[in-house]
Chain A
Amino acid sequence: MSSWFDYTINGLVVGNIYALLAVGLALIFGVSHLINFAQGSVYSVGAYVGLVCITYLNTPLPLTIAIVLASCGLLGILIERIGLRPLQGRTRIAPLLATIGISLVLDQIVQLVFSAQPRALPSQVPDWRFVIGGGSIGALDLLIAAIGLASAAVLFAFLRFTKLGWAVRATAQDREAAQQMGVDVDRVDSAVFAIASALGGLSGLLVGMYYNNISPAMSFQATLKGIVAQVIGGVGNVPGAIFGSLFLGLTESYGIALFGTSYRNLFAFVILILVLISWPNGLFGGRRSLPPEPLTGTFIAPSRPVLLPFWLVVALVATGLLLPVVVTSPYVIQTLSNAWLYGMLALSLTLVAGTAGQISLGHAALLAIGGYASALLALDLGLSVLVAIPLAGLITGLIGTLLVYPAFGLRGHYVAIATLGIGEIVSLVILNWESLTRGPIGITGIPPLAIGKHDFYSAPAVYWLTFAVLVGLALLQRRLLRSPLGRTLRAIRDDDVAARTYGINPNRYKGLAFAFSGFVAGVSGAITAHLYSYINFETFTSQISVLALTMAILGGLGNVFGAIAAAIALVGLPEIFRVASDYRMLIYGLALLLLIRFRPQGLFGTV
């Protein structure tokens, strides 16, 4: 059994690693008002550059560190240049989505080059341990602490004593005024991305040596942890990010000591949500007002949606219905059924993110809730599948709304972070609530889709069912959007202050939007569960959330028909053309990047 001393040391070491990530996030947010979702990808690139140096080039440690810093710094400059600079002047959510796209691309490249298998990253630090009291401290622990301290000191000196550092601070406070003093703000952006990425890469190297294990999957969690640490310390606050990181590291370490490893991340995300809601300036931030975060829904590039004539809609629905008669390949039919299920998810998200202007990054959680609800209703209560699915939809609408409710006061980036955190919490609760969800084992033997005594085993039967549900939900949603409710939602999205002055209570309408959205996604998750007959806490991953957002944007945010078309384009086409799944995330990432850059209104226009 490890001692408290050991847990403290571990917490501080992990906190230092988080700090290297979070400081960069804070710098970038300070200067560009952007949450950089690619930070974790740079971190994993740093780890893999370290791997190449250590195992193939046999470089000594200082050289390894230098190479990691330099290559990740360059990568940061590249990210800023390609992904973000062209988006200057756009709404803030645009660069945020661009960083998500960049992170998908980078993660996928790392995976293509090094494979998804975890690799050992040998530590280059001798395995000395110094025994102190009841615990011990290793040479690597000390090295990480020293690097953390040294980085903080260098950063402090840079900001305080160099001309570029002054420019960074001035730009963070008032970009336009800094420009009027002659600061080249583009160069400042570049510099900040270089620093953030260099430190992030270093963090990846250290974490790899600390756990002697790296994998491409480490990227996403790292981004999340960096964001949590930053939120704890106050978004955009550099010293705050360091304190927030240490706080998070220690909390996690003590939490593991008390409750076990599988709770680790749960702590992080519960803290995230609590801090976001109760101390939006961070635990260490003053009572300063939040950095201005105007306009929830301004990502909605104004455009004229493409209106489909009635006869075309009828023709498309008829084609959809008749397709299994013509196309006999069960593979194609299955793929399209899958696309219809994703289409429901896209419908659900396009309502929340488009019509209501709340960019949700945790939508896969709704699928999970729906899937688990329906599976458990059918298995534990013995309800028939036909009853369980809509009931699961209702339950998802209810739970989803209750979960997001505390976050209704947030806007813009904060909504995106909060929904991301809530989504993670859902999957961690599923993992840990064993008595209900069966924990890590998952649920097996979920009864198949059936009407009465007729099981839906054949591909066309599943196809027709999913297609009918999709069309039904789409019509319902279209109806809703054209009603006064839809208009009110758009009014809140475009200007919730003005909406308030008309006596509208935005929270009630956001609640309605999330409830309907939850129902639609819940039904999709429920059908999926019965199709798969087995689900676990990892069935509906956060990658699905990102994919859903890409679909909603591709179709045109708020656009019902667009959401469905995008589901076919992003899920159906790669499958039918048998694009290797390794390349799929690459395609999604590139699609997201290109869309945001060249066609933010999507294929069919925003509504």
Chain B
Amino acid sequence: MHSPTNTALPEPLLALDHIDTFYGAIQVHFDLSLEVGRGEIVCLLGGNASGKSTTMKIILGQVQPKGGTVTFAGEAITGLATPKIIRRGVGSVPEARRLFGAMTVRENLLMGAYLRSDRATVAEDLERTLDLFPRVKQRLDQRAGTLSGGEQQMVAMARALMGRPKLICMDEPTMGLSPLYVERVLELVRDINRAGTTIFMVEQNASLALQIAHRGYVLQTGRVVLTGSAQELLMDPGIRDAYLGGEQAA
């Protein structure tokens, strides 16, 4: 395993190069480029409608860019169907969690392993993942829709782990959680990362994300306007005004 470093390694795990994305006539990404090195936690910061979630959809192949390429583990994955991309080792924690509310927690977790056919190891992974999330373990046979927001976030993260991904993309994992749960989530993200999974995290709340991230990109109306290490970004006066000030408001 690579140890986390502050600079991207020569061959990044994920690279977006010169991405232009459109919804109909409206352009969402303008020449967007970013890299996520193996073992890193990289966050993508930006306000509402800046194109953060769309970036995740580009990586997962749910939206196709008009121009540019996406490279994962050294191979181009632009234009591949979502299941193929996931098979290569991309997992996701979608915006607003998006659990399958009428299915049990166990079924939700197993859906995370949907593309795996190795039943025995899936069962092992389920046990191992549950050890990380003791609260989830108590609720295995409850309908996911009846869990609290914080518990749902845990399930969503556990579900992502069940696919044994190399990279997990998370879309605003702390959104709408109480401060206590925000701390738990950030800790868990760090733990997951330490155990060897690379993290790409989309966040509005810069001060939170930068607590655990190694590096960050700042997205403004579809353009990367700033990038650097977490420390550099925390020090940056622009980002202090634009995002860290927003923490009180949030």
Report which A residues bind B (CB closer than 8 A): 163, 166-167, 169-170, 173-174, 176-184
Tell whether, in the assembled complex, residue A173 and residue B101 are in contact, meaning their CB atoms are under 8 Å apart: yes
Tell whether, in the assembled complex, residue A181 and residue B102 are in contact, meaning their CB atoms are under 8 Å apart: no
Tell whether, in the assembled complex, residue A169 and residue B114 are in contact, meaning their CB atoms are under 8 Å apart: no
The reply on B99 being an interface residue by CB < 8 A is yes
Instruction: Tell which of B32-40, B105-113, B188-196 binds the partner.
Output: B105-113
Instruction: Tell which of B78-86, B209-217, B218-226 binds the partner.
Output: B78-86
Tell whether, in the assembled complex, residue B114 and residue A163 are in contact, meaning their CB atoms are under 8 Å apart: yes
Tell whether, in the assembled complex, residue A169 and residue B92 are in contact, meaning their CB atoms are under 8 Å apart: no
How far is it, in angstroms, between the C-alpha of A184 and the C-alpha of B103 when the chains are bound? 19
In B105-151, the 8 Å CB interface with A consists of 107, 110-112, 114-115
Residue among B92, B94, B100, B102 with max Cβ neighbours from chain A (10 Å): B100
Q: How far is the CB of A162 from chain B (nearest CB, A)?
A: 12
Tell whether, in the assembled complex, residue B83 and residue A177 are in contact, meaning their CB atoms are under 8 Å apart: no
The 3 A-B residue pairs with the shortest CB-CB distance in the complex, in nearest-first order: A177-B98, A182-B115, A182-B86
Q: B82, B87, B102, B107: which contacts A179 (Cβ < 8 A)?
A: B82
Tell whether, in the assembled complex, residue B86 and residue A169 are in contact, meaning their CB atoms are under 8 Å apart: no
Q: Which residues of A contact B98 (CB under 8 A)?
A: 174, 176-177, 180
The reply on B46 being an interface residue by CB < 8 A is no
Q: How far is the CB of B152 from chain A (nearest CB, A)?
A: 12
How far is it, in angstroms, between the C-alpha of A169 and the C-alpha of B103 when the chains are bound? 8
Q: Which residues of A contact B92 (CB under 8 A)?
A: 180
Tell whether, in the assembled complex, residue B62 and residue A176 are in contact, meaning their CB atoms are under 8 Å apart: yes
Residue among A166, A174, A178, A182 with max Cβ neighbours from chain B (10 Å): A182
How far is it, in angstroms, between the C-alpha of A184 and the C-alpha of B115 when the chains are bound? 10
Tell whether, in the assembled complex, residue B62 and residue A181 are in contact, meaning their CB atoms are under 8 Å apart: no
Q: Which residues of A contact B103 (CB under 8 A)?
A: 166, 169-170, 173
Quick one: closest A residue to B117, CB to CB?
A163
How far is it, in angstroms, between the C-alpha of A469 and the C-alpha of B86 when the chains are bound? 63
Q: A166, A169, A183, A184: which contacts B102 (Cβ < 8 A)?
A: A169
Report which B residues bind A (CB closer than 8 A): 60, 62, 81-83, 86-87, 92, 94, 98-103, 107, 110-112, 114-115, 159, 163
Q: How far is the CB of B147 from chain A (nearest CB, A)?
A: 14
Tell whether, in the assembled complex, residue A182 and residue B82 are in contact, meaning their CB atoms are under 8 Å apart: yes
Q: Which residues of B contact A167 (CB under 8 A)?
A: 114
Q: A163, A174, A176, A181: which contacts B112 (Cβ < 8 A)?
A: A181
Given A169-B100, A169-B103 in contact, is the A181-B81 Cβ separation under 8 Å? no
How far is it, in angstroms, between the C-alpha of A182 and the C-alpha of B60 when the chains are bound? 10
Q: How far is the CB of B88 from chain A (nearest CB, A)?
A: 11
Given A166-B107, A166-B114, A170-B111 in contact, is the A180-B94 Cβ separation under 8 Å? yes
Q: Which residues of B contact A166 (CB under 8 A)?
A: 103, 107, 110-111, 114
Q: Which residues of B contact A174 (CB under 8 A)?
A: 98-101
Q: How far is the CB of A559 from chain B (nearest CB, A)?
A: 23
Q: Which residues of B contact A173 (CB under 8 A)?
A: 100-103
Quick one: closest A residue to B92, CB to CB?
A180
How far is it, in angstroms, between the C-alpha of A184 and the C-alpha of B114 when the chains are bound? 10
Given A166-B110, A166-B111, A170-B111 in contact, is the A180-B60 Cβ separation under 8 Å? yes
Tell whether, in the assembled complex, residue A177 and residue B100 are in contact, meaning their CB atoms are under 8 Å apart: yes
Selected A-B contacts with CB under 8 Å, 28 pairs: A163-B114, A166-B103, A166-B111, A166-B114, A169-B100, A170-B111, A173-B101, A174-B99, A176-B94, A176-B98, A177-B98, A177-B99, A177-B100, A178-B100, A179-B62, A180-B60, A180-B62, A180-B92, A180-B98, A181-B159, A181-B163, A182-B82, A182-B86, A182-B87, A182-B115, A182-B163, A183-B114, A184-B81
Q: Which residues of B contact A184 (CB under 8 A)?
A: 81, 83
Q: Which residues of A contact B112 (CB under 8 A)?
A: 181
Q: Which residues of A contact B82 (CB under 8 A)?
A: 179-180, 182
Q: How far is the CB of B45 from chain A (nearest CB, A)?
A: 22
How far is it, in angstroms, between the C-alpha of A549 and the C-alpha of B143 when the chains are bound? 43
How far is it, in angstroms, between the C-alpha of A170 and the C-alpha of B159 when the chains are bound? 13
